[in-house]
């Protein structure tokens, strides 16, 4: 099954965006891109020091992800990106509103904090999780998936909804 859409898998750090995004892209046979790979070095350094990104830090990153999405909108792709605010989601989909869908990975602070403490070799420290939840504006127009289920179930739920 090939979907000619950009699926933005979104949520706070540690919600499983990369894991679910990769599995979804594999199932749909479309490319997967991890938004973290497109952060400028200054953003990664800032986060690694425990300093939350602000809107100005995120702006260029979101524009880069929008360009990536535009380049793949005809064949489809899955892009993992926090997309925490409505204004960020608007930047991500600028010029391609009919070609994109958001998949919101929803989970509690406690569940995600536990996951973050268990993962290795990631630049995002657990200390920044609270700032992510504080920034999060849950989308009203997304496919919302609970992270309390296995990845395969999450992917099946998205597949059913697209």
Per residue in 29-80, pLDDT (tens digit) is 999 999 999 999 999 898 888 888 899 999 999 999 999 999 999 999 999 9
Under 8 Å between Cβ of 111 and 44 = no
Cα→Cα distances 158→20, 89, 95, Å: 10, 19, 24
- Domains of the chain and any CATH numbers: 6-161 (3.40.50.300)
Q: What is the chain's alpha carbon radius of gyration, rounded to the nearest angstrom?
A: 15
For residues 48-75, b (16+ Cβ closer than 10 Å) or e, as one string? eeeeebeeebbeebbeebbebbeebbee
- Please check the confidence at residue 117 and state whether its pLDDT lies above 80: no
Under 8 Å between Cβ of 10 and 104 = yes
Q: Give residue 105's pLDDT.
A: 98
pLDDT tens, position by position, 1-37: 556 799 999 999 889 999 999 999 999 999 999 999 9
């Amino acid at each position: 099954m090939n979907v000619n859409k950009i699926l933005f898998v979104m949520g706070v750090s540690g919600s499983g965006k990369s894991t679910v995004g990769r599995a979804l892209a594999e199932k749909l046979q479309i490319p997967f891109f991890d938004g973290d790979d497109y952060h400028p070095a200054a953003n990664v350094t800032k986060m690694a020091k425990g300093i939350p990104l602000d809107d100005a830090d995120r702006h260029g990153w979101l524009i880069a992800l929008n360009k990536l999405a535009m380049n793949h909108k005809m064949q489809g792709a899955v892009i993992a990106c926090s997309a925490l605010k409505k204004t960020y989601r608007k930047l991500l989909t600028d010029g391609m509103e009919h070609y994109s869908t958001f998949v919101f990975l929803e989970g509690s602070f406690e569940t995600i904090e536990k996951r973050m403490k268990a993962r290795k070799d990631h630049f995002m420290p657990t200390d920044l999780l609270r700032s992510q939840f504080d920034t999060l504006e849950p989308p009203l127009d997304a496919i919302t998936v609970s992270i309390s289920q296995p990845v395969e179930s999450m992917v099946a739920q998205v597949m059913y909804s697209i």
